[in-house]
Amino acid sequence: MATYLEFIQQNEERDGVRFSWNVWPSSRLEATRMVVPLACLLTPLKERPDLPPVQYEPVLCSRPTCKAVLNPLCQVDYRAKLWACNFCFQRNQFPPAYGGISEVNQPAELMPQFSTIEYVIQRGAQSPLIFLYVVDTCLEEDDLQALKESLQMSLSLLPPDALVGLITFGRMVQVHELSCEGISKSYVFRGTKDLTAKQIQDMLGLTKPAMPMQQARPAQPQEHPFASSRFLQPVHKIDMNLTDLLGELQRDPWPVTQGKRPLRSTGVALSIAVGLLEGTFPNTGARIMLFTGGPPTQGPGMVVGDELKIPIRSWHDIEKDNARFMKKATKHYEMLANRTAANGHCIDIYACALDQTGLLEMKCCANLTGGYMVMGDSFNTSLFKQTFQRIFTKDFNGDFRMAFGATLDVKTSRELKIAGAIGPCVSLNVKGPCVSENELGVGGTSQWKICGLDPTSTLGIYFEVVNQFMFHLRRSPFLQVFNNSPDESSYYRHHFARQDLTQSLIMIQPILYSYSFHGPPEPVLLDSSSILADRILLMDTFFQIVIYLGETIAQWRKAGYQDMPEYENFKHLLQAPLDDAQEILQARFPMPRYINTEHGGSQARFLLSKVNPSQTHNNLYAWGQETGAPILTDDVSLQVFMDHLKKLAVSSAC
Amino acid sequence: MNVNQSVPPVPPFGQPQPIYPGYHQSSYGGQSGSTAPAIPYGAYNGPVPGYQQTPPQGMSRAPPSSGAPPASTAQAPCGQAAYGQFGQGDVQNGPSSTVQMQRLPGSQPFGSPLAPVGNQPPVLQPYGPPPTSAQVATQLSGMQISGAVAPAPPSSGLGFGPPTSLASASGSFPNSGLYGSYPQGQAPPLSQAQGHPGIQTPQRSAPSQASSFTPPASGGPRLPSMTGPLLPGQSFGGPSVSQPNHVSSPPQALPPGTQMTGPLGPLPPMHSPQQPGYQPQQNGSFGPARGPQSNYGGPYPAAPTFGSQPGPPQPLPPKRLDPDAIPSPVIEDDRNNRGTEPFVTGVRGQVPPLVTTNFLVKDQGNASPRYIRCTSYNIPCTSDMAKQAQVPLAAVIKPLARLPPEEASPYVVDHGESGPLRCNRCKAYMCPFMQFIEGGRRFQCCFCSCINDVPPQYFQHLDHTGKRVDAYDRPELSLGSYEFLATVDYCKNNKFPSPPAFIFMIDVSYNAIRTGLVRLLCEELKSLLDFLPREGGAEESAIRVGFVTYNKVLHFYNVKSSLAQPQMMVVSDVADMFVPLLDGFLVNVNESRAVITSLLDQIPEMFADTRETETVFVPVIQAGMEALKAAECAGKLFLFHTSLPIAEAPGKLKNRDDRKLINTDKEKTLFQPQTGAYQTLAKECVAQGCCVDLFLFPNQYVDVATLSVVPQLTGGSVYKYASFQVENDQERFLSDLRRDVQKVVGFDAVMRVRTSTGIRAVDFFGAFYMSNTTDVELAGLDGDKTVTVEFKHDDRLNEESGALLQCALLYTSCAGQRRLRIHNLALNCCTQLADLYRNCETDTLINYMAKFAYRGVLNSPVKAVRDTLITQCAQILACYRKNCASPSSAGQLILPECMKLLPVYLNCVLKSDVLQPGAEVTTDDRAYVRQLVTSMDVTETNVFFYPRLLPLTKSPVESTTEPPAVRASEERLSNGDIYLLENGLNLFLWVGASVQQGVVQSLFSVSSFSQITSGLSVLPVLDNPLSKKVRGLIDSLRAQRSRYMKLTVVKQEDKMEMLFKHFLVEDKSLSGGASYVDFLCHMHKEIRQLLS
């Protein structure tokens, strides 16, 4: 605890909490003067290898409106076996099990180092996880093949008792019945018609009529508690079947005429997936994993028509109110997202296509349910393959790094009120004395539901901001939509809203490392002046990892120096950023786009678009320096921005 | 009796006397008649004999015409001679002769029989008296339906004169000839016919029944006579015509009786004695006859009224009409006489042989009667005439009729890229009637008279007769029926069609599984798929197949050849049906055989444990139709369905069966579809060329009226197997299925009937859809389906140019080729009503009237429909009586020869299940039959309404021909015999209680009658001649019908006999249907009312 900063970092390390202000205003007046809201970033499931789970239930404050959990900050009267709730000051008797409590015999939850504690609740039956694959078949042959392989591979990564289901869609939506012998069976739905959950369940035979059919074979239901769904079966039972089924999966057979997009019923497919789980497994951990290779083109949730000559909406169209399907589609997906969230399920979206796929409209599906959103160019890329694989990684305990059905309950002492939360959550609409009337993010409640989360999921209420960040934030894809499609914007924002501070900062202001013969690798300014001929630059924007070889370095490499034993140091220099990049690639989710480029390469644009244009074609000669690389942009440089900011700050003070 | 009774008052006698006006009067006055009769007789004799003579002489028609005159002279002798012959022929001879004797005067009456023979009469007319005599004969009965023959001739004589001279004349002769032949050839029936003559005598003597009856009999004979003419070939037309003219039917009371009696003798006594006398003549049928007679009186209270001659009635009541004396529907003469030589279609307006006759056709410019049959081959020139006659002008068209192997199927003509040559104005297709002019450079359309240029590539020089030199090289210039290859202009969306597809849609609900249907069907399909229809010498069928199973949801199957196992795709969204797959649904059988077999093996297993009892229906058809649409082809759906579709879906039905509605104004609702969804769907199907064949396996009410809407409108068929059980019904079902799957079908068809100026097609009956008033749209059309077309005048017709019909059918063959089939038919036109009546065909008429009535029940109360039928029939006959028959007493019933069976057949229509349901007939049965009849051809309606009853042990075991039929009446059954009865749908084997033990043993392999299992449906296969013969006969009967007839063995006096008796249509039915005799009396009454 050397410095205050370290203290803050340590706190974050331990509790997954980081505040925008570490000293709080003492009065309402002071508080109103703060421009930056008082907020924290909370990572509820921050991995704590050192934290032993507690195998009993928490002790709650007995005041029905409070129910705060006993914690190290509570006042405890060891002799009277009482504790005072530090939120409502209610005095509570310890439960009988705590009879032996004393100053030297404290339960874990009273020890100061357990400011974060994890209870393992023993109640309730364990239900298996559910993975429902929703697969687009309107793909190119090799894309589909790659996807099929990824899916087949994933079966081996699933917990053996997990239930898995398969829905495929194109012009129609097919719900595959698993474990059929001799004939493969699927239920087919029109891709243009929205159905209520009730209808879907009727049509899938999940309601009453299905029961008599099972009664006909009385042996089965008992043996198989989840027989009520022929569509979701334990992996270990049907992995062979499902592997074959996936193997036989064909491209959508309906002909697509010249000048048309394939008819893709994403909206209905999702609706059916949601309806299926809603009817069969409400309030259990379930992932709907949508794999799509293009925009929905028909039915509810369609984003663009099937005429190729009419392009998918752009920011320009949206500004001009010219995106005719957007509102309806968004509404459709919002409705689905809310239903899913209500059921405690989550929706992942894996969208791989060169053009937009409608993430803008579908974003809430992932955002509200805590699902993943992954965007790539093709399923046949390592970006997708490895990202997908990474979903099934396990932690040091061998558990999957995913959690479901969380309820986040925030309690405050009387002086504080909750304005809202931002992150992959929905409101549970629990009002209380600590809920503020001013809403910020998802407000009006002290409880939120997080259907799916992982150790890095972070909810936040703004973040600490310094001017430099503000400059890059302005230029970041979160605010800057120029040159980004609506889908890309949605995608970036999705991730921004759920990452912790460090990662968020990287997203706002990419990190730039420099490798050269002049010294060890060092961070350099994210500025065009940092681009020098004899440097290798490594930029991490969270979504992209860019390795950029300066002009000279590139020429050397071209000349093959790295292969000459006498220039082994050059070889090492080239290797260093690669190794560092690899390290990042290994850890990051979703896996970033990895770009290895050099001076003058077309991919160099990824770097050039991020750096501060201190030198542009406008001022290049004015600066008169030979260093750095000019950036062709009309955007203002940090210098100009700061000047402007200062002027504003002064003028607003008047 | 009433009839008879009435007869007495009947001046009918007058008929004979019509000739003698005075006579009539006298007759009226009283019984002075005796003398009067005498006179007539004399007259009769004259003519009669003549006829008879002619026959014997020859035979030939030529003689007839000429003969006629001579006949007149010879009459008396002839008649006698004739008798002799007849008598010989029949056992009755003895009696008959006696009768004759009695009647000597009567003998002349015979002449009248001759008259019935009829046409002659016309010729005879001059003999005015003769005809009368004939009529008189009828008079006897009072109602006497004097064979129109006799009367007709007379009347026609005047009017006929011409006609007869033309064809009829010859015809008449033949008739006479026939007579001769009859006795010889035919056994009982014929004898009856002969009896007729005898009867006539009776007329005289016992004017009442006998005479009148005779006519009918004579009617029979006439036919033969017809045949006679036929032989000559062309003469056929003639003879037949003549025959048609009149059949006199017997019944009427003889008011005239008194008159008659005069001649005859004491009327009352006469009656009784006569009858006896007749009996002998009539082959002993008399005995039974009496029975009926009594009935007669009973049923129709009206009978008495008939006579209006109250007095006589009383005496008459005791008498009954002699069933043998009324025209018999069992017709052997046409069969025997016209079946031997081909029917050559070269001559305009020929009446073809009856549908019960086996004959070959030679196409020489007119379409074969297998393709088109008309109600009349000589149509009135003006609409006034047509209205007067009330004879519907209709054609029953079977465009894709199957031909016997001896006849060539229509040639296919390819006119190249320009397509078939057509009239520029009316678009009629090139046909033999088109007139080439200006040296062959132009042609005048025979339909609209427009003059068209002959395209250069089609040019050909004309010979000296104005005929193209290449006329005989080109089917379209020399044949009545041929096909054109259609060009792309005739195709949907201007694209040549893809080969059609068959989709099998199988109900797999609990009922279907439980009965074993699904297993049976799947097993059968495995082999049946090898026999899909193929075209010409094609090695494999071009037809693709697909499979769907369903209960309340649908299961589609992907059976793509590349799959290791079939894929099932369930569509539960039945409210908004769609096809879930494209590729792999419709496949080539050979390519996907392994997958298909695997699928068919698995279907019964997959649903073995189903508890699902609800089904849908409309979505199933919709799915099939959508699948065809997606595949851009036409095709056929084979739907196997078990229950009322009550599952929540479009077209959901409720059980609305309510017997209480029968005989109320709301009865029609039972025949109407419950909802409009079915029609809407049918329309879509037709647009796609999607034909639906429906196989129903109901355990209870399934609302056939609604379910059959789509098959009906798409040209499909409905099969119904009530209470289906594999053990009992599998043979019938599989046989029907095989035939249905294998039969050649045309798809996506449009039929247009063009006519020459003056008439036009106004109404259409059959299984099809029409979106405008001229185009008959058929999603599918097979060789069993007919379309009945009614014509009306819109202008005056010309005797010289006649009237032309051209039926053009555009369709896609089962190989996917687009073709046009053209049928042409030329008809005569007449200015004399007699010509119309002489060229009618009753079987076709009944076909039309039945269809008209069966459609009528959709919109009108059944009673109204029945009344309309009776009224129309009465009008037809009354018009004849008024305009064509010789003047005669009103008490006589005079029928045109061609329509002598109209009353009996009409009665059969009236008492059919649709129009008069018995207690055991379900609403579904009625709806089923209603729609079946709608697309029946003439052969089918003929046997359907009047079943065939074949005695099995009368003829020697060695004889290989079908035994001659007997009339469908219980009286004809001998308890020592075994009979087969068939009506095209049902087949009964009736075993008399006193059948010889040996016969029982040979057929059933049991030792006595009592050990025969009632209700047996299969005869044991035994190695003895009788068993082989009977089984062979059963097989051959089945082969003649388009549906498999399930056999039911019925024992005399067994409770199942009721079922059988339902088909004895000449008897009074349990549901209140009149007996033949009763109805005849009723009809007579109606006619008289019209006449008065």
Which candidate from A193, A213, A254 shows the least CB-CB separation from B573? A193
pLDDT at residue B479 tops 90: yes
Residues of B in contact with A187 (CB under 8 A): 569-572
User: Which alpha helices (H) appear in B501-657, and where do they start and end?
Assistant: 510-514, 517-528, 593-606, 618-630
pLDDT at residue A654 tops 80: no
pLDDT at residue B314 tops 60: no
DSSP class of A430: -
- Tens-place pLDDT, residues A447-466: 888 888 877 777 764 333 66
Q: Is the peptide bond before B131 cis (omega within 30 degrees of 0)?
A: no
Please check whether residue A181 touches B, CB under 8 A.
no
Residues of A in contact with B599 (CB under 8 A): 183
CA distance B566 to chain A (A): 5
- Tens-place pLDDT, residues A295-344: 999 999 999 998 989 989 888 888 888 888 999 999 999 999 999 988 88
CA distance A348 to chain B (A): 27
- Tens-place pLDDT, residues A405-424: 888 888 877 777 787 888 88
Highest mean pLDDT among A195-209, B264-278, B282-296: A195-209
Look at B570 and A186 and tell me if their CB atoms are within 8 Å: yes
Please check whether residue A251 touches B, CB under 8 A.
no
pLDDT of residue B953: 84
Please check whether residue A254 touches B, CB under 8 A.
yes
Mark which residues 220-249 of A lie under 8 Å from B by CB.
Answer: 248
- Tens-place pLDDT, residues A597-606: 888 888 888 8
User: Which of A158-162, A397-401, B832-836, B986-990 shows the lowest per-residue confidence on average (mean pLDDT)?
Assistant: A397-401
Please check whether residue A256 touches B, CB under 8 A.
no
The mean pLDDT of A512-523, rounded to a whole number, is: 86
Nearest chain A residue (CA) to B559: A183
Q: List the one residue out of B914, B945, B931, B933 whose CA is nearest residue B1071.
A: B914
Rounded to whole angstroms, how far apart are CA atoms B400 and B409? 10
Which candidate from A183, A189, A254 shows the least CB-CB separation from B582? A254
Residues of A in contact with B611 (CB under 8 A): 212-213, 215-216
Please check whether residue A328 touches B, CB under 8 A.
no
pLDDT at residue B67 tops 80: no
DSSP A247-297: HH-----S---TTBPPP--HHHHHHHHHHHHHHH-TTS-EEEEEEESS---
Look at A187 and B578 and tell me if their CB atoms are within 8 Å: no
Look at A195 and B602 and tell me if their CB atoms are within 8 Å: no
Highest mean pLDDT among A536-540, B96-100, B139-143, B614-618: B614-618
Q: CB A560: neighbour CB atoms within 10 A?
A: 9
pLDDT of residue A527: 82
pLDDT at residue B939 tops 80: yes
Does A489 or B242 have the greater pLDDT score?
A489
Which candidate from B556, B565, B582 shows the least CB-CB separation from A184? B565
Look at B573 and A195 and tell me if their CB atoms are within 8 Å: yes
DSSP B919-963: TT--HHHHHHHHHHHHT--HHHHHHHHS-EEEESSSS-TT--SPP
Q: What is the pLDDT confidence band of residue A394, given thresholds at 50, 70 and 90?
A: confident
Please check whether residue A297 touches B, CB under 8 A.
no
Rounded to whole angstroms, how far apart are CA atoms B729 and B291? 39
Q: List the one residue out of A242, A208, A245, A254 whose CA is nearest residue A228.
A: A208
Look at B569 and A182 and tell me if their CB atoms are within 8 Å: no
pLDDT at residue B235 tops 60: no
Residues of B in contact with A188 (CB under 8 A): 556, 569-571, 580-581
Chain A contact probe: residue of B522, B556, B578, B605 with most A CBs at under 10 A: B578
pLDDT at residue A233 tops 60: yes
**B1076-1091 helix and B286-297 helix, angle to the nearest 10 degrees:** 60
Q: Cα torsion for B1047, B1048, B1052, B1058, to the nearest 10°?
A: -120
Does A106 or B1083 have the greater pLDDT score?
B1083
Q: What is the pLDDT confidence band of residue B128, given thresholds at 50, 70 and 90?
A: very low
User: Among residues of chain A, what percentage have pLDDT more than 70?
Assistant: 87
User: Among residues of chain B, what percentage have pLDDT more than 90?
Assistant: 55
CA distance B611 to chain A (A): 6
The mean pLDDT of B453-460, rounded to a whole number, is: 93
pLDDT at residue B227 tops 50: no
The ipTM assigned to this model is 0.79
Residues of A in contact with B607 (CB under 8 A): none
Query: A358: alpha, beta or left, given left = phi > 0 and alpha = psi -120 to 50?
Result: left
Which candidate from A183, A186, A215 shows the least CB-CB separation from B565? A183
User: Which of B371-385, B621-635, B885-899, B1034-1048 shows the lowest per-residue confidence on average (mean pLDDT)?
Assistant: B885-899
User: Which of A523-527, B71-75, B447-451, B482-486 shows the lowest per-residue confidence on average (mean pLDDT)?
Assistant: B71-75
Q: Which structure tokens are listed for B789?
A: 């077309």
Q: What is the pLDDT confidence band of residue B157, given thresholds at 50, 70 and 90?
A: very low
Nearest chain A residue (CA) to B605: A182
Does A63 or B746 have the greater pLDDT score?
B746
The mean pLDDT of B626-650, rounded to a whole number, is: 94
Please check whether residue A213 touches B, CB under 8 A.
yes
Look at A187 and B556 and tell me if their CB atoms are within 8 Å: no
Rounded to whole angstroms, how far apart are CA atoms B208 and B258? 9
Which candidate from B569, B584, B610 shows the least CB-CB separation from A174? B569
- Tens-place pLDDT, residues B531-570: 999 887 788 899 999 999 999 999 999 999 988 889 999 9
- Tens-place pLDDT, residues A25-55: 666 666 666 666 677 788 888 877 777 778 8
Does B732 or A392 have the greater pLDDT score?
B732
Look at B563 and A248 and tell me if their CB atoms are within 8 Å: yes
Which candidate from B564, B570, B578 shows the least CB-CB separation from A190? B578
Give the long-range contacts of residues B578-581, CB within 8 A, separation 24 or more.
B578/A172, B578/A190, B578/B623, B578/B626, B579/B623, B579/B626, B579/B627, B579/B630, B580/A172, B580/A174, B580/A188, B580/B556, B581/A172, B581/A188, B581/A253, B581/B556
SS3 A546: strand
User: Which of A443-447, B229-233, B1024-1028 shows the lowest per-residue confidence on average (mean pLDDT)?
Assistant: B229-233
Query: A628: alpha, beta or left, given left = phi > 0 and alpha = psi -120 to 50?
Result: left
Residues of A in contact with B552 (CB under 8 A): 209
CA distance A183 to chain B (A): 5
Is the pTM higher than 0.80? The answer reads: no
SS3 B730: helix
User: Which of A262-276, A502-516, B701-715 shows the lowest per-residue confidence on average (mean pLDDT)?
Assistant: A502-516
Q: What is the pLDDT confidence band of residue B469, given thresholds at 50, 70 and 90?
A: very high
pLDDT of residue A194: 85
Residues of A in contact with B564 (CB under 8 A): 248
Rounded to whole angstroms, how far apart are CA atoms B173 and B122? 11
The mean pLDDT of A115-125, rounded to a whole number, is: 79
Nearest chain B residue (CA) to A254: B582
Look at B599 and A213 and tell me if their CB atoms are within 8 Å: no
Look at B570 and A255 and tell me if their CB atoms are within 8 Å: no
User: Which of A215-219, B389-393, B756-760, B952-956 shows the lowest per-residue confidence on average (mean pLDDT)?
Assistant: A215-219
